[in-house]
Amino acid sequence: MKRKIIIDCDPGQDDAIALLLAFAASDALDLLGITCVAGNVGLPLTLRNALKLRELVGRHDVPVFAGCPRPILQRLETAEHVHGETGLDGVDLPEPSFGADRRHAVDFLIKTCRSAGLNGLTLCPVGPMTNIATALVMAPDIGANIAEIAFMGGAALGPGNITPAAEFNVFVDPHAARIVLESGVRTTMFGLDVTHKALATPARRAAIDALDTPSGRAASQILAYYDRTDVDKYGDAGAPLHDPCVIAYLLAPELFDGRDCHTAVSTEDGPALGRTVVDWWGRSEALPNCRVITEIDANGFFDLLTERLGQV
């Protein structure tokens, strides 16, 4: 049976590859919709980018929704320095022939969760979790029907990437991340500890560059642009592919490993704002509320990604 999912995103270069991977896995994933949020760039651009990616692969059966245009309490921080002014600079995508659904993303999330049945739906936020948190606040009853919230965000054992303490997605809307982690819904965190092991090295990129499919060609262009900042910043052999880890986990969970921990989010102003506080050694009395993923079979991950992108 296919796993029913909703991807909540802010495309974004690595969001784009996550969406392409999900589109290419229609045999295993029933993608019910794509909900967009402000994050890497503003909401009008994240929405447009999602529509362009849908157009690229001809998946007009998947509705796309505009969601929250700003974080719950904070001023929006964006990342054009990484993703370019459009959020998807460097890649040639077709103009959308169909627009977004007119319903608000939060309304769609609530309605779809309510109709999914007990544990019937997986939510995959790979940007700031404003839409997901708003839905959980407006309709806390939907939690019973969410099997899992598998999200890209945070850092358990290392530094942040937007501040010394915080990862970008959580930093942009720490209050939303806190709401999600305190919701009682099963959560699985793909933070920088694991995503920085999913490096698009030259050899792995060469395999994607050789693909002659719309998804493969787009991913190749994305990686050529995306490499320019992270390689210089971190000195690694390639850029980390953050968001596709979430989708790969749904397809091949055996590629990943981690630990059940209590995880909290710092929402106080100051240098720790947006930090994910992970009780890795169980020092507190708080019960685990999150599966924190820190290990990945990176070769297996890129084999999966390359195989799938070569199909669509």
User: From CA 25, how far away is CA 35, in angstroms rounded?
Assistant: 18
Active site residue 196: no
Beta-carbon neighbour count of residue 206 at 10 Å? 11
Which residues, 6 or more positions from 243, have their beta carbon under 8 angstroms from its beta carbon? Answer: 9, 12, 14, 15, 17, 18, 126, 152
Residue 104 near residue 67, CB atoms below 8 Å: yes
Q: Which of 83, 196, 242, 262 is catalytic?
A: 242
Q: Give the relative orientation of helices 244-251 and 13-23 as an angle to the nearest 10 degrees.
A: 20
Residues 80, 53, 232: CA angle, nearest 5 degrees: 35
Would you give the end-to-end CA distance of the chain in angstroms?
Answer: 21
Among all residues, which ones are annotated catalytic?
242
